[in-house]
A and B are shown apart, each in its own frame.
Chain A
């Protein structure tokens, strides 16, 4: 099992040096508490907690999994509950929550750093506190003062956890067809009846109560997505004094047997006339959800980042340790029977790919996280709007692209181990299995791609794309005269222009052919991901070059940054060429086949 080390130096490079967190936090009042000392302390402590408490539970979680007892109680793997207790005692769930409800009020971006570390150490475990965010956000945004008083403080403290109950057996991507019913009761509450599936952390034994946010239909609600409302449904009813009472006709019907994330309970949840309360306006449930979908999706993108980081850490240790064959430039380990496999170019190719993906993804996620801060906290309306647009544009790219390349990185990590990668005890195959779900839940890659190309780019007539390509353009122009940056700036400038051209081309075709968007979307999304990652790698290279020029004791660290950027540009970025050609191949390439002819 690879031992997790919180990559503190990498984190501070991106946060402080690249994205100038100190300046960022000083730019809005809510950032005032995030002083450099506070930030350093939090990340160091958080890293330690992840290394020492959470990471060691990753393997046992996979092997033991969750079980549903005859008493209807879901049991989490050995050690999960105790670790959660420590997490709550450490105040970690309160980090970026509203001070009015017991939170520390720190910016969301700090929480994202913590989530990266938790998720890399043990994704399954991290989902229990992680899933509370949706419920916290919903109640915070739309709850009545009373609802906030009742539920929010408990969710913020971590005393209870929350879930989002969306999917039903027959509907996932297409929520418009959901069937769970909400019948009004005389006392203003509703009676909720229906079955939800794939409810992560839907039930477990770590807390006294679980607060479900359930999507359901009111009687006579309009059909489709415009007839969905949100309800708060606690697993256990509350007594008048606020203490946890009897079960509220909410039960876990069964647990799914899955490819990975065994340590997290994926529940079928049955609501049999459970008592719930409407939250937010009637029939506007989906809209309400979308207001904070962006942060949830960045949360999922972190799973891709964590997969790349975790598998890189594992395979790097192995590549330095495992001996096989000799280097082609001469023996490197004369005392051993063979050289460590890191001397072989192809092993390095895999390691560098993992490294470039992990570090590039971190820059992308943290950049988006700062905009998430600004969406909520910026003083000017204009900045809030700009950040909201930026976040809206980047979110599908982060969610889909980073999980796709993160999954690729996890597979490289396994491949570095050769046959041992396939064996459970090394832990590398678990990373692959755990990560695979990231490409599906929270909107599949295909759904994200439709969101990006259809809603975010074409529906704004390209405005959201331009907002980003303008950043890239300005960066390139600023560094045009820099000889050392030429290797990055030139290709980036060219791609940045091509990005717009391709968008235009697809947009034109889409006006005549409604299948065009779906035919181009995933290639378009991957292309967008590679180009945006290139932008961040170019920025990291520039920064590293500046540090090296100014003189530094960390020559190795910064040189590695420049070299990894070079690797990314030379060996990974050319993938854009293929995606560019594929996305404009026309919808006929996928639509022409007669449905009956898919199988003979």
Chain B
């Protein structure tokens, strides 16, 4: 396995050169005083170092050893505890936390790069950190001042960690059916009883306390998703001086045996009358969760391509090192008994595919993060509203499209290794196994597609969609005389047209066919994802074309070639997808259930 190297050059390119983050941050009320170019650069540098040197070395053994359940608690693999301690001392847990509660207040555009490095080095380890950030977001947005003051500083410091408790054995996608109960105690607190499953980081030996955000139903709550409330339930009681006391009747019943992310504890959590506090309003628990969902979903998308980046780095090293066969164009390494496999066109096709997706993902996630930052930090109501709309539209794509392409990339990275890709010690198969869950949790990619197609497109008659089209069209228009990127812009324009055509036809079909949305959704999301990537690749190509002359590093030249590969070898899939979508729902629904 190659040593992980944080792709800082590309991160700087995306942040500073393509999306001009510093300009944006300087323009936003909430970031103007907290982040400047020097701070951002220092954070990138340090994050690159600590992830590569402290965390990346844990990942192989973490996979082999896994977590283990003991009656006293869950034990994480060797080295995790020490690494966690060092890591939180660096203050990384509070990177994007609210500065009023001792967070660092950094924007998401920057935090997304940090998360990428964290996940590239080890998804399992990263999950412990990122679940805490997610819980903090929900607490910060919805909890009472008292709860915030009590919990946020400890969570930003990493002394206490967070977990999100949604799923129950019989209800995952359909949370309306949950059964966990909350009963008022009379002192403002609630007594929580029930069983939750698939709780990532639900129990571990890294932090002093674990703060669970639990979805539960109050007596007499309306049935379905409108009767769910959110509660903060610490594993251990915390007294008025913030001293951690005895167990709060929160226990881990067992941990799951799973395909991957083995060093991350996936817990069954039992609540036996645990004391909890309401977060947000009664029966508005799901809505409260959704405010942090956009951040979480982007984060899961980042998880995906972070693993793909790691797989790419390994695959490139292997392809340069492994010798096998001769180049079809003539011997390249005459002193060796064969040429390195990177000379073979098909090996390059795999590497280029990985690269085009991964760099496209990095750019796209940074782009989506820029809207999250506008939505959160702007004091201009119009800008905020527009950003919220873009976030709503793009989030399902960020989660599902990035993770789908990430799995493809990790599988390609495994394939480059031939039979060795199947062997554990090389690490490539672990990346496939670790990444596979990203297509499932935080709402399966099928659910993301329904969210996009149903709620974000059809429900508002394409209003959000128009925003996106306008932005892309403006870009094409503004660069119409740029001959360097002309072929890309033409291709982008044709892709947008294709997407618009399909969008219109599904909106129309949905008016009379209730299955139209579900029949189109997954292919539609992929088509939309490709279009988004075409857009960010065109933007990257534009910047690279401006700078390529006189650049001796090869960076901009490589960028242009990768853009070209994307447009010529990956984007054509849009033709297949639009045809498949337009075939409608009949072929999916006609088969009688009994005849499967």
Contact = CB atoms under 8 A, between A and B. Distances in A.
Interface stretch (B17-25, B39-47, B202-210, B251-259): B251-259
Given A260-B422, A437-B422, A574-B580, A415 B259 contact: no
B98 interface: no
B257 A425 contact: yes
Given A258-B424, A440-B422, A563-B590, A594 B557 contact: yes
A585 B521 CA distance: 29
A600 B324 contact: no
A575 B519 CA distance: 17
A590 B171 contact: no
B429 A578 contact: no
Greatest chain B CB density within 10 A among A323, A348, A415, A594 is at A348
A578 B576 contact: yes
Contacts of A415: 439-440, 444-446
Interface in A574-600: 574-578, 581-582, 585-587, 589-600
A422 B440 contact: yes
A591 B345 contact: yes
B423 interface: yes
Interface stretch (A66-74, A130-138, A336-344): A336-344
A564 B591 contact: yes
B348 A345 contact: no
Contacts of A352: 587-588, 591
A566 B338 contact: no
Contacts of B424: 256-259
Given A173-B325, A324-B173, A422 B259 contact: yes
Contacts of A519: 345-346, 349
Given A257-B423, A425-B257, A570-B580, A316 B557 contact: no
Interface stretch (B82-90, B129-137, B464-472, B565-573): B565-573
Interface in A409-453: 411, 414-415, 418-419, 421-425, 429, 432-433, 436-437, 439-441, 444-446, 449-450
A595 B342 contact: yes
Given A320-B593, A418-B440, A436 B414 contact: yes
On chain A, which size bracket covers the interface?
A: 35 or more
Interface of B: prevailing SS: helix
Contact of B515 (A170, A171, A329, A514): A329
Contacts of A324: 171-174, 177
A349 B519 contact: yes
A7 to B, nearest CB: 12
A328 interface: yes
30 contacts: A167-B419, A257-B425, A259-B424, A323-B170, A324-B177, A325-B174, A329-B514, A329-B515, A349-B522, A352-B591, A355-B596, A415-B439, A415-B440, A418-B172, A422-B440, A423-B259, A433-B433, A444-B418, A516-B345, A519-B345, A571-B587, A577-B575, A587-B345, A590-B345, A590-B348, A594-B558, A597-B557, A598-B355, A600-B7, A600-B554
Interface of A: 167, 170-174, 176-177, 198, 256-260, 316, 320, 323-325, 328-329, 337-338, 342, 344-352, 355, 411, 414-415, 418-419, 421-425, 429, 432-433, 436-437, 439-441, 444-446, 449-450, 514-519, 521-522, 556-557, 559-560, 563-564, 566-567, 570-572, 574-578, 581-582, 585-587, 589-600
Interface of B: 5, 7, 9-10, 167, 170-174, 177, 198, 256-260, 313, 316, 320, 323-325, 327-330, 337-338, 342, 344-352, 355, 407, 411, 414-415, 418-419, 421-425, 429, 432-433, 436-437, 439-441, 444-446, 449-450, 514-515, 517-519, 521-522, 553-555, 557-558, 561-562, 564-565, 568-570, 572-577, 579-580, 583, 585, 587-596
Given A577-B579, A590-B352, 17 more contacts: A172-B419, A258-B422, A259-B423, A259-B432, A324-B174, A329-B514, A345-B519, A345-B588, A346-B521, A433-B433, A436-B422, A446-B415, A514-B328, A571-B587, A589-B565, A597-B558, A597-B561
